[in-house]
Amino acid sequence: MGLPPETRAEFTLIEWIARQTEARPEVLLGIGDDASILSAPGQDWVVTTDVLTEGVHFAPGTDPALIGRKAMGVNLSDLAAMGAEPCAAFIGIVLPESFDRSRAERLYDGLFQLAREFNVVIAGGDTNSWAGPLVISVTLHGLMAPGTAIRRDGAQPGDWIFVTGALGGSLQSQRHLTFSPRVNESRALCRSVGIHAMLDLSDGLGSDLFHLLSRSGVGAILEGEAIPIHSDVPGTLSPGERLQRALSDGEDFELLFCVTPEDGACLLEMPPVSVPLTRIGEVTAERSASLRWNGSLTPLLRSGWSHRFGS
Amino acid sequence: MGLPPETRAEFTLIEWIARQTEARPEVLLGIGDDASILSAPGQDWVVTTDVLTEGVHFAPGTDPALIGRKAMGVNLSDLAAMGAEPCAAFIGIVLPESFDRSRAERLYDGLFQLAREFNVVIAGGDTNSWAGPLVISVTLHGLMAPGTAIRRDGAQPGDWIFVTGALGGSLQSQRHLTFSPRVNESRALCRSVGIHAMLDLSDGLGSDLFHLLSRSGVGAILEGEAIPIHSDVPGTLSPGERLQRALSDGEDFELLFCVTPEDGACLLEMPPVSVPLTRIGEVTAERSASLRWNGSLTPLLRSGWSHRFGS
């Protein structure tokens, strides 16, 4: 209908995006109208949003496919922390004017690849460009049976504290761009035991733990020697330095969760997931956090950094 | 629990945000966990997302309250275009490092004020800062009885084409920062007539009309003399120049919709809303768009600009 060339070019990108997206019955209306329509009778929607910015969450010059992958991955990790089944994503992107079509497609390819792996449909979005650096915002919708979402506020004194995988060194090794969100692990854990409280480690164990304790109104003792340290943390560091890295590096995107000692023993005996599960401490009634290290108990200081709300 | 000062400052902003948000029964879990939980049995969710960037959607130096207001307003306008009832918003913000606490609060105040006016709860979000300019992404969730959303694809040959309000001059007059999203008007219209197709005018009538025609597989004849031109368009321009401004300026955030001639006559006789409703043309079976102007029919060229998908 007589589009001038510049709008035709943008439309081709949008049409290309629309062609990449698969169908899911919960998405009654997807890309192409003023809004999209989601419907999942009998289920709750679990919704999270994360914004990634150049120079903060990824370095300038990073492969656009890895940036897209991370933007989807951090949101999938949030849904994993609730025990939800990922379903539909809305993508807001601000492209630098220097981004040509092939770099834009590479960015979306990274998003789509992880979306497909977890059966996520791209249900809508907004694509802009400007003179500034790259920004990606993803709002991800997951599904849950009513009342079954795992929140941060259910930890009980006496609970054992677990983490999946190993911690530290993620930013230096670039693992923060390639990590596997623990969506399937979370759902397997939820099926096999009663998880009292869970979150995903984005700012670092030494910071995120306090969110869970504060919301649950409890404290904790962490066993420093038990905390699994990732091989990405240099082995040349001292044990204390390596522990500090595991506590404060952040961007691990592993799960931190609390279960009864009985459930914890079951998990250690017959783990329902292939990723390592490690008991790293215990929840206490006293509302303070301590670290046992070298045989003595010291107050755990909040480390890492935090800038998020609601996700 | 021993927060260092910098994280305490960020937490205070987040706590302040959480305190501003009201409750709605559909938001089972809001700000403060890994994700939020939405539940509205028996209803569909209508979801839209828009990203606003400094220098593109608002000028540097714009009052932060007006920026926040616009970020909420453009999404409310998208829900109005579907006939949905606004409910819950997720806010992704990237603040420039130069933004102090009071400017950040002013930005959120603008968001909250319009949110409250339309009974929208802030259900979650992500607040970041960086060395770049301001970016705001809003993902807004509305509610509808299943199957009642007004899409773009239902226009029928013979339908009358209407707009609310008047068009043109929005950017120059700064109306794009202060407009009232037509949420209540949309719902009043939906209650009184059967709307076949509707969208909100963001890129300009001369551009957005084509989305509706293309999705519906129809054409249109617009009556140039009938198109309501906003008083923000300078009266010193020629009639043709004024018409061009109404067609292509964009950022009107008025509703464009199609109804049967019978329903159209009812709307003209007994308008269910106080904002002016104007019949500006007719839908045709022939898939082309024409403009009647000065007694002759000329092809309508797509004007304005477009960069959106799904919203």
Overall average pLDDT of the B71-92 stretch: 98
* Closest in A7, A14, A137 to B137, CB measured: A137
pLDDT at A27 over 70: yes
pLDDT at A9 over 60: no
Kindly give the pairing relationship between strand B289-293 and strand B296-299.
Answer: antiparallel
Q: What is the pLDDT of residue B3?
A: 35
Q: Is A61 on the interface with B (CB under 8 A)?
A: no
pLDDT at B15 over 90: no
Taking Cα atoms as reference points, which of A134, A140, A27, A33 lies closest to residue A76? Answer: A140
Residue B214: pLDDT band (50, 70, 90) is very high
Q: Do B94 and A130 touch (CB under 8 A)?
A: no
Q: How does pLDDT run across B242-253, given as a tens digit for each residue? A: 999 999 999 999
Q: Is A58 on the interface with B (CB under 8 A)?
A: no
pLDDT at B308 over 50: no
Q: What is the pLDDT of residue B9?
A: 54
Cα pseudo-dihedral A226, A229, A235, A236, rounded to 10: -80
Q: Do A127 and B215 touch (CB under 8 A)?
A: no
Q: How does pLDDT run across A233-277, given as a tens digit for each residue? A: 999 999 999 999 999 999 999 999 999 999 999 999 999 999 999
Dihedrals phi, psi of A53, to nearest 5 degrees: -130, 145
| Chain A residues in contact with B213 (beta carbon < 8 A) | 1
Residue B279: pLDDT band (50, 70, 90) is very high
Taking Cα atoms as reference points, which of B147, B141, B177 lies closest to residue B59? Answer: B177
In the sheet with B296-299, reading across from the earlier edge strand, the strands are B197-200, B255-259, B160-164, B277-284, B219-223, B289-293, B296-299
Cα pseudo-dihedral B5, B11, B13, B15, rounded to 10: -140
Q: Whole-number mean pLDDT of chain B?
A: 92
d(Cα B200, Cα A34) in Å, to the nearest integer? 7
CB within 8 Å of chain A, chain B residues 189-228:
198-200, 207, 210, 213-215
Overall average pLDDT of the A271-290 stretch: 97
Instruction: Report helix, strand or coil for A175.
Output: helix
Overall average pLDDT of the B105-123 stretch: 96
Q: What is the pLDDT of residue B16?
A: 81
d(Cα A176, Cα A66) in Å, to the nearest integer? 9
Q: Is A290 on the interface with B (CB under 8 A)?
A: no
CA distance A235 to chain B (A): 29
Dihedrals phi, psi of A47, to nearest 5 degrees: -125, 135
CA distance A50 to chain B (A): 6
Q: Do A34 and B28 touch (CB under 8 A)?
A: no
d(Cα B257, Cα B286) in Å, to the nearest integer? 18
Q: Do A302 and B1 touch (CB under 8 A)?
A: yes
- List the single residue in A with minimal CA-CA distance to B253: A34
Overall average pLDDT of the B133-162 stretch: 97
Q: What is the pLDDT of residue A2?
A: 35
- List the single residue in B with minimal CA-CA distance to A38: B45
- E strand or H helix at B17, and its extent? helix B5-20
Kindly give the pairing relationship between strand B85-96 and strand B121-130.
Answer: parallel
Give me B218's structure tokens.
């129809």
Q: Is B59 on the interface with A (CB under 8 A)?
A: no
Q: What is the pLDDT of residue B32?
A: 87
* Closest in A50, A124, A305 to B47, CB measured: A124
- The complex scores an ipTM of 0.91
Please, what are the domains in chain A?
5-144 (3.30.1330.10), 160-299 (3.90.650.10)
- Dump the DSSP string for A66-127: HHHHHHHHHHHHHHHHHT-EEEEEEEEEEEETT--HHHHHHHHHHHHHHHHHTT-EEEEEEE
Q: Is B36 on the interface with A (CB under 8 A)?
A: yes
Q: What is the pLDDT of residue A168?
A: 98
Q: Tokens 């994280």 label which residue?
A: B7
Q: What is the pLDDT of residue A142?
A: 98
pTM recorded for the entire structure: 0.93
| Chain A residues in contact with B220 (beta carbon < 8 A) | none
Q: How does pLDDT run across A75-127, given as a tens digit for each residue? A: 999 999 999 999 999 999 999 999 998 999 999 999 999 999 999 999 999 99
Q: How does pLDDT run across B59-75, given as a tens digit for each residue? A: 999 999 999 999 999 99
Q: What is the pLDDT of residue A304?
A: 45
